[in-house]
Amino acid sequence: MADLAAQAALNKSVTPLLIPYSDCKATSRSYIRDVMQKKWDTQRKNIALISEAAMPLFVACVVSLTLHLASSSKTCTDLKNYHFVERNVRLPNSHVISLSTQGQILCARTCLARRWCKSINFHINSGKCELNYLTLSSGGLNTTHLVPAAGFVFSDIKHWSQEVAGACANHNCTVNTFCDPVDTHKYVCRRYANPTSCAEVKECDPLSSDGEYWLRIPHFGLYRTRIYCHRMNTSNPMEYMTLPSPNYGVYPPVSNQGCAGETPLRYTCVGSGGEWWYMKIRVAIEDMAVVRTDKTFAVFTNHEVYYAQAEDCYTTHNGVLSSCGTKGEFTVNLTSTGWLVDPDVEWIAGGWRAIIESVIREEGGSVIHLKCGGFNGYCYPKTGISVVPSFEGMKDNNFCYV
């Protein structure tokens, strides 16, 4: 009973103060007893002793100690107890939230409270905790994607026990909410203040007008990006990506059938030439697939062509590029949007005896130059065009909570 009374008194009266990592050098009861002897009188005079039965509360370098060394407030964690962590490395360009925690276990607990969080980078000395929406996987990222980073440790969240999450263990909060413990057994799912769609913007403020808004994209771990919300005065607002750089195509008003010399457009191609510019492109906010057929924010001088498609009526190509080449061109340019064209996007030729002359990717995939054509011929994305984060949008990682 005395042991239980001492433990209960300890829980109520000792302020949770933590041993710094640099002092994780002894785990023996004698070491703990020595520290406690020095600190006890000034910390809690109403408790006279700590029995052997209560001593497990103070096991050092595992979770958090209720001891005080004035130089630091970081939790010490013995990495030998966590064989799955990768030392002195971190996964770059993947974190959505960067915050400070009092230890690696608390960093893991924060990650476990968020369904989108797949791994963590933790800095042992500073307590910096980076929550990543990506992790290593078979057929995906591997250990070669980890970069040297002194003092950091990387770990996949699936290796951490759900017990670390406390009340949030195996929670059912959605990807655009986070688990917030109410007590040791209950939790609530709280929404991020940052909306994830234009409909949520309107829900938060019914008077919101058309314009640019910061949104979080659940499909990409709540990646933060600017989206133009259109038709905000309706019950079905739409999302568009503003394109700061020219996204331009040309369909020359000339033919050169058989490469025998240029003439005005012929046959069914008469009247089809022109140029076009896309200032904004519509995106399906759920997965950021581009709606190529939407021309709301496009300008055409004559012939209307879908986004990310090049077209001409110059000459035929019989399985190989004709000597006079193609003239249809289009440039996809996502520079300064925070997005890249998905590297898996593939263009194919369509139309009469069409061919793709070139698909040139630049700037890491933010710029794609297309050149193709036929009689009439074109090239277009085989299964649509989707975009992936470039992490330009991650310069500001602050989250607001409701």
328-361 confidence digits (pLDDT tens) = 999 999 999 999 999 999 999 999 999 999 999 9
Mean of per-residue pLDDT scores for the chain: 80
pLDDT band (50, 70, 90) for residue 391: low
Q: Name the residue ranges covered by the structural domains of the chain.
A: 2-58, 79-191, 246-281+294-387
pLDDT of amino acid 63: 28
pLDDT of amino acid 77: 59
Give pLDDT tens digits for 174-216: 887 899 999 989 999 987 767 889 998 998 888 899 999 999 8
| DSSP-derived 3-state class of residue 6 | helix
**How many Cβ atoms from other residues are within 10 Å of residue 145's Cβ?**
15
Provide CATH code, domain 79-191. Answer: 3.50.4.10
What's the number of CA atoms in the CB half-sphere (13 Å) around residue 310?
Answer: 30
| pLDDT over 50 at 26, yes or no | no
Cα–Cα distances (Å) from 359 to 193, 315, 344, 362, in that order, read 41, 19, 13, 10
For residue 208, the one-letter residue type is S
- Report d(CA 113, CA 179) in Å as an integer: 5
Region 24-46 average pLDDT: 41
For residue 346, count CB atoms less than 10 angstroms from its CB and return exposed for 0-12, middle for 13-18, buried for 19 or more: exposed
pTM score, whole prediction: 0.61
Residue 190 or residue 387, greater confidence: 387
| pLDDT over 70 at 399, yes or no | no
